[in-house]
Structure 1
Amino acid sequence: MDAVCSDLLAEVRAFRQRFPDVRYVDLISLDIPGHFYGKRYPIEMLEKVAAGSALKLPQNCVLLGTQGGLFKIGDYCFNDGDPDAPRRLVPGTLKIVDWEKQPLGQMLITSSGTEKPIVFEPREVLAQVLERLARKGIFPVVAFELEFYLFDRQLRDGLPQFARDPLTDDADDQPNMHIERLSRFAPVLDEMVETARAQGIDTTVITAELGPGQFEINFGHLDDGLRAADWAALFCRSTRGVAMKHNYRASFMAKPYLQHPGSGMHVHVSLYDEAGNNLLAANDQQPLRHAVAGCLELLPHCMPIFAPNHNAMRRLSGTVNVASRASWGFEDRDACLRVPESDAKNLRIEHRLAGADANPYLVLAAILVGLEQGLEARREPIAPLNEDRGSGIEFPLEMLEAVRSMQSHAQLREGLGAEFVNVYCENKRQDHLAFLQDISAREYRWYL
Structure 2
Amino acid sequence: MKSQASTLLAEVRTFRQNHPDVRYVDLIALDIPGHFYGKRYPIEMLEKVAAGSPLKLPQNAVLLGVQGGLFKIGDYCFHDGDPDANRRLVPGTLKPVSWESQPLGQMLITSDGTEAPIEFEPREVLAKVLERLHHKGIHPVVAFELEFYLFDKKLDNGLPQFARDPLSDDTDDQPNLHIERLSRFSEVLDDMAQTAKDQGIDITVITAELGPGQFEINFGHLDDGLRAADWAALFCRSTRGVALKHGYRASFMAKPYLQFPGSGMHVHVSLYDGAGNNVLATHQQQPLRHAVAGCLELLPHCMPIFSPNHNAFRRLGGTVNAATRACWGFEDRDACVRIPDSDPRNLRIEHRLASADANPYLVLAAILVGLEHGLAAGREPIAPLNEDRSSGTDFPVEMLDAVRAMQHQPVLRDKLGAEFVDVYCENKRQDHLAFQQEIHAREYRWFL
Please tell me the TM-score bracket, short chain as reference. Answer: over 0.9
Residue 301 of structure 1 is matched in structure 2 by 301
Q: Which moved more, 1:435-444 or 1:295-304?
A: 435-444
Q: Identity rate of aligned residues, in percent?
A: 82
Structure 2: how far apart are the matches of 1:411 and 1:9?
Answer: 41
SS of the residue 1:423 aligns to: helix
1:346 aligned to 2:349? no
SS of the residue 1:313 aligns to: helix
Structure 1: how far apart are the matches of 2:134 and 2:191?
Answer: 37
SS of the residue 1:108 aligns to: strand
Structure 2: how far apart are the matches of 1:9 and 1:119?
Answer: 28
Residue 356 of structure 1 is matched in structure 2 by 356
| Cα deviation, residue 196, structure 1 | 0.1
| Cα deviation, residue 319, structure 1 | 1.4
Q: Which moved more, 1:292-301 or 1:316-325?
A: 316-325
SS of the residue 1:323 aligns to: coil
| Cα deviation, residue 318, structure 1 | 3.0
Residue 100 of structure 1 is matched in structure 2 by 100
SS of the residue 2:149 aligns to: strand
SS of the residue 1:207 aligns to: strand
The amino acid of 1:254's aligned partner reads A
Residue 113 of structure 1 is matched in structure 2 by 113
Residue 287 of structure 1 is matched in structure 2 by 287
Deviations, residues 391-437 of structure 1 (Å, cap 9, x unaligned): 00100000000000000101111010000000000000000000011
| Cα deviation, residue 317, structure 1 | 2.7
Let me know the Cα RMSD of the aligned residues. 0.5
| Cα deviation, residue 126, structure 1 | 0.0
Structure 1: how far apart are the matches of 2:437 and 2:317?
Answer: 24
Residue 79 of structure 2 is matched in structure 1 by 79
| Cα deviation, residue 301, structure 1 | 0.1
- Residues 28-107 of structure 1: matches in 2 within 5 Å? 28-107=28-107
Gaps of 5+ in 2: none
| Cα deviation, residue 185, structure 1 | 0.1
The amino acid of 1:357's aligned partner reads D
Deviations, residues 225-276 of structure 1 (Å, cap 9, x unaligned): 0000000000000000000000000000000000000000000000000000
Structure 1: how far apart are the matches of 2:388 and 2:441?
Answer: 43
Residue 238 of structure 2 is matched in structure 1 by 238
Structure 2: how far apart are the matches of 1:378 and 1:123?
Answer: 28
Residue 327 of structure 2 is matched in structure 1 by 327
Structure 2: how far apart are the matches of 1:103 and 1:337?
Answer: 42
Deviations, residues 123-171 of structure 1 (Å, cap 9, x unaligned): 0000000000000000000000000000000001100000000000000
Moved beyond 4 Å, runs of 4+: none
| Cα deviation, residue 6, structure 1 | 0.3
Structure 1: how far apart are the matches of 2:95 and 2:422?
Answer: 35
The amino acid of 2:238's aligned partner reads S
- Residues 31-430 of structure 1: matches in 2 within 5 Å? 31-430=31-430
Structure 1: how far apart are the matches of 2:136 and 2:261?
Answer: 39
| Cα deviation, residue 39, structure 1 | 0.2
Deviations, residues 32-55 of structure 1 (Å, cap 9, x unaligned): 000000000000000000000000
Deviations, residues 99-131 of structure 1 (Å, cap 9, x unaligned): 000010000000000000000000000000000
Structure 1: how far apart are the matches of 2:278 and 2:254?
Answer: 32
SS of the residue 1:417 aligns to: helix
| Cα deviation, residue 325, structure 1 | 0.2
| Cα deviation, residue 445, structure 1 | 1.0
Structure 2: how far apart are the matches of 1:444 and 1:370?
Answer: 44
SS of the residue 1:37 aligns to: strand
Structure 1: how far apart are the matches of 2:203 and 2:127?
Answer: 23
| Cα deviation, residue 446, structure 1 | 1.0
The amino acid of 1:86's aligned partner reads N
Structure 2: how far apart are the matches of 1:403 and 1:319?
Answer: 25
SS of the residue 2:400 aligns to: helix
Deviations, residues 187-221 of structure 1 (Å, cap 9, x unaligned): 00000000000000000000000000000000000
SS of the residue 1:341 aligns to: coil
Structure 1: how far apart are the matches of 2:86 and 2:391?
Answer: 47
Structure 1: how far apart are the matches of 2:319 and 2:171?
Answer: 23
The amino acid of 1:339's aligned partner reads I
SS of the residue 2:282 aligns to: helix
Structure 2: how far apart are the matches of 1:188 and 1:17?
Answer: 29
SS of the residue 1:106 aligns to: strand
Gaps of 5+ in 1: none
Structure 2: how far apart are the matches of 1:337 and 1:77?
Answer: 38
TM-score between both structures, scaled by the size of structure 2: 1.00
Number of aligned positions between the proteins: 448
Structure 2: how far apart are the matches of 1:283 and 1:108?
Answer: 41
Structure 2: how far apart are the matches of 1:305 and 1:40?
Answer: 29
SS of the residue 2:105 aligns to: strand
The amino acid of 1:353's aligned partner reads L
The amino acid of 1:270's aligned partner reads S
Deviations, residues 313-355 of structure 1 (Å, cap 9, x unaligned): 0001331000000000000000000000000000000000000
The amino acid of 1:299's aligned partner reads L
